[in-house]
Amino acid sequence: MTDKVLVTGVSGFIGGHLAATLLRRGYAVRGSVRSPSRIGEVHDAMAAAGVGSADLEICRLDLLSDQGWAEAVEGCRYVLHVASPFVLEKPKNPDDLIRPAVEGATRAVTAALDGGAERVVMTSALATMQFARAPKGHLYTEADRTDPDDPRLNAYTVSKIKAERAALERAQRYGAPERLAVVNPGAVIGPLLTDDPGTSITAIQQIMSGALPMIPDLRLPWVDVRDVADVHIAAMSSANAGGRRTIIATDPMSLIDVAQVIRERLPQASHKVPARAMPTWFTWLASAFQPQLRDNRWLIGQNQRFDRTPAETLLGRPLHPIPEAIQETGRSLAERHLI
């Protein structure tokens, strides 16, 4: 009998790659969308990934509603909870992000455990560890925890911290913390399956489109979406993942270096890439007025280190090289006329 996996947020960038990888490996997939208007987009994504949709079914779930969750989990051996609100700028009301993230995580874990799923794998974010106060040169691990009361945090990071906590508390309440695994990716990039570039890819899109007059020295911990998908799938059954948070990210690469990779590997698509790097002092100054820089100002000129060993142990191989992921991302953006 074919194992069935529920993937929430299947119309998103990570969710689409997860569904395609699962189908390619012989799983049946039940994917959730919030709006029926995105069902066609999901099928188009599977076609772009080169997989058939015969073993894919779509259901409707809302992070803020109990309706449909028990039915969505029914018959699923595993649950991959990927759906979560994600925006670059702070909303006027932080609860617009925090409430659906927390309630969605609680509903997903509750439904999975009530429905008998062997494991629920939750997509969180590196930000729940990355912004913990630590000395220079610190190696960030799953033990690091960002303080949700830190005034530097934006609503997105707080939403991820609180959603993680809510999921863990629910699993502990059921006496089954090992049935929950949390995956914490950095900035996720890679080949596009739809014309929706996702949030992390927006930075590369802005570089290639010439939207930035100069390139800030913003250093992000990139990761290939195909690695993210593979780690989720490995975490479904690995004893090493149960009850743990797994970092999946590389040590940061600056946007300045990203631009250089694009110039070298995609010269035909790099004519709009800015030639000038923004000085660090000016980046700090600009961050006072530019919301995206302001929310990430502590990453300006900073080098961090992250423990990728648990992720690579789950994969049984090293992470994909980031220059290759940048090249695939840029090629997709160019081919889809998104720059």
Between CA 329 and CA 105 the distance in angstroms is 29
Q: If you average pLDDT over residues 30-35, what whole number do you get?
A: 96
Tokens representing 318?
């090293």
More confident residue, 318 or 212: 318
Residue 276 counted as domain residue: no
Q: Is residue 140 part of a domain?
A: yes
Residue 339 lies in a domain: no
Question: What is the reported pLDDT for 260?
Answer: 96
The rounded percent of the chain whose pLDDT value lies above 70 is 94
* Banded model confidence at residue 291, pLDDT cuts 50, 70, 90: low
3-state secondary structure (DSSP) of residue 38: helix
Instruction: Please name which of 330, 140, 157 lies closest in space to residue 251, comparing C-alpha atoms.
Output: 140
Quote the pTM value. Answer: 0.94
Whether 163 maps to a domain, the answer reads: yes
Looking at the predicted structure, is the pLDDT value of residue 179 above 80? Answer: yes
Q: Does some domain include residue 23?
A: yes
Does residue 38 register a pLDDT over 60? yes
Q: Is the residue at 282 inside a domain?
A: no
Backbone angles phi, psi at 319, to 5 degrees: -70, 155
Mean pLDDT of 308-319: 97
Question: Exposure of 193 by Cβ count < 10 A (0-12 exposed, 13-18 middle, 19+ buried)?
Answer: buried
Q: Does residue 282 have a pLDDT over 90?
A: no
Query: Please, which pLDDT band fits residue 92 given cuts at 50, 70 and 90?
Result: confident
CATH number at residue 79: 3.40.50.720
- What pLDDT band is residue 292 in, cutting at 50, 70 and 90? low
Q: What is the rounded average pLDDT of the residues 28-54?
A: 95
Q: Is residue 127 part of a domain?
A: yes
Residue type, 49: A
pLDDT at res. 87: 56
Cβ 326 vs Cβ 201: under 8 Å = no
pLDDT digits (tens, 9 = 90+) for 219-277: 999 999 999 999 999 999 999 999 999 999 999 999 999 999 999 999 999 999 998 88
- Residue 90 has a pLDDT of 61
Residue 32 has pLDDT above 70, yes or no: yes
CA-to-CA dists, residue 231 to 27, 39, 269, 279, 282, angstroms? 16, 25, 31, 37, 38
What mean pLDDT value characterizes the chain?
Answer: 93
Quick one: pLDDT band at residue 61, thresholds 50, 70, 90? very high
Read off the tokens for 162: 């609180």
Which residues fall within 8 angstroms of residue 327, CB to CB, at 6 or more apart? 261, 262, 265, 266
- With bands split at pLDDT 50, 70 and 90, how would you rate the model's confidence at 121? very high
Say if residues 213 and 313 touch (Cβ distance below 8 Å): no
pLDDT of residue 81: 98
**DSSP secondary structure letter of residue 169:** H
For residues 301-325, average pLDDT = 94
Domain of 46 in residue numbering reads as 4-190+221-250+305-320
- pLDDT value at 145 more than 70: yes
| Residue 197 domain flag | no
CA–CA separation, 289 and 42 (whole Å): 37
Average pLDDT over residues 280-295: 68
pLDDT of 280 reads 75
Is it the case that residue 283 has pLDDT exceeding 90? no
* Residue 282 φ/ψ, nearest 5 degrees: -75, -30
- pLDDT confidence bin for 86, thresholds 50/70/90: low
128 with 157: CB under 8 angstroms? yes
- Looking at the 3D structure of the chain, how many domains does it have? 1
